[in-house]
């Protein structure tokens, strides 16, 4: 696939750690909240978001992030990335988790040479 026909792909990597407010909830309250979040995620998936998954961060990697967990989501364009980001905020997630987001348009997939992608990103001619 050449550059002109390559479909855009954007990812949102969300890293988080539970805060004191979360820790103060009962298990029933936590489950209710997470069930509502799951319903929102299912709706977004029907709208085209690809849920790559959720996981605990590996502390054995070099220079690890300070957060404890992550969720990784992929969408086809920047507007969709921002819609997912806004939905996370609107569901109340930030009330319970110390959260950092990383959003990016990916380059270097679908047969694009890594050297070309990295040079383009870094402005190397």
Please list the pLDDT of the chain residue by residue as tens digits (125 residues): 344 444 678 999 999 999 999 999 999 999 999 999 998 888 888 878 899 999 999 999 999 999 999 999 999 999 999 989 998 999 999 999 999 999 999 887 766 678 888 888 899 99
pLDDT of residue 4: 41
What CATH number matches the domain at 9-122, 3.30.470.20, 3.30.70.100, 3.40.50.720, 2.10.109.10?
A: 3.30.70.100
pLDDT of residue 18: 98
**78-89 residues labelled b (16+ CB within 10 A) or e (exposed):** eebbebbeebbe
pLDDT of residue 47: 77
Q: Rounded to the nearest 10 degrees, how much is the dihedral formed by the CA atoms of 50, 11, 58, 64?
A: -170
* 52-54-58 Cα angle (round to 5): 115
């Amino acid at each position: 696939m050449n550059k002109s026909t390559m479909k855009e792909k954007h990812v949102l990597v969300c890293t988080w750690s539970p805060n004191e407010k979360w820790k103060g909830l009962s298990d029933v309250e936590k489950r209710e909240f997470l069930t509502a979040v799951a319903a929102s995620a299912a709706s977004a998936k029907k709208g085209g978001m690809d849920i790559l998954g959720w996981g605990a961060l590996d502390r054995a990697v070099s220079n690890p992030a300070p957060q404890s967990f992550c969720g990784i989501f992929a969408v086809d364009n920047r507007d969709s990335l921002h819609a997912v980001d806004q939905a996370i905020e609107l569901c109340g997630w930030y009330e319970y988790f110390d959260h950092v987001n990383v959003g990016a348009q990916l380059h270097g997939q679908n047969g694009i040479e890594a050297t070309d992608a990295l040079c383009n990103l870094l402005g190397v001619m």
